[in-house]
Amino acid sequence: MSVWRRKATELFDIRFGTIFHETIYDVFQTLSDMVKEAHHRGDVEQLKKIYEYAEWCSNQRAEDLWNAAGVFFYEHLVDVTKLLTKQFLIGLSQEYFAN
């Protein structure tokens, strides 16, 4: 099992297979839903795990991983959460606000 799949399974109990998740993009679709729910519940620990996983993926050499994190998660994060609060900013590194 690839590292990104193992991490997703351990952190979020995500299952893989044809009727579940097949790609990293499927994982980020689920994480987008999870981040919205975590914001509504005020679940800071869950938000931290999600943001750390997205950051980990964005720092990998494999294009599928950093591309999925950037295009499928970060790019739509504000659309998903509809929040720009301290809670929202908890998991984002300063590098995402540079320039």
Between 76 and 61, residue with greater pLDDT: 61
Whole-model pTM above 0.85? Answer: no
Instruction: Read off the pLDDT of each residue in 3-25 and give the average, rounded to a whole number.
Output: 86
pLDDT for 93 beyond 90: no
Compute the average pLDDT of residues 24-43. Answer: 88
* Sequence ranges of the domains in the chain: 3-97
**Is the model's pLDDT at 83 over the cut of 60?**
no
| pLDDT bracket for residue 99 (50, 70, 90) | very low
Residue 40 pLDDT class (50, 70, 90 cuts) = confident
DSSP symbols for 46-95: HHHHHHHHHHHHHTSS-HHHHHIIIIIIIHHHHHHH---SHHHHTT--GG
Tell me the average pLDDT across 49-74.
93
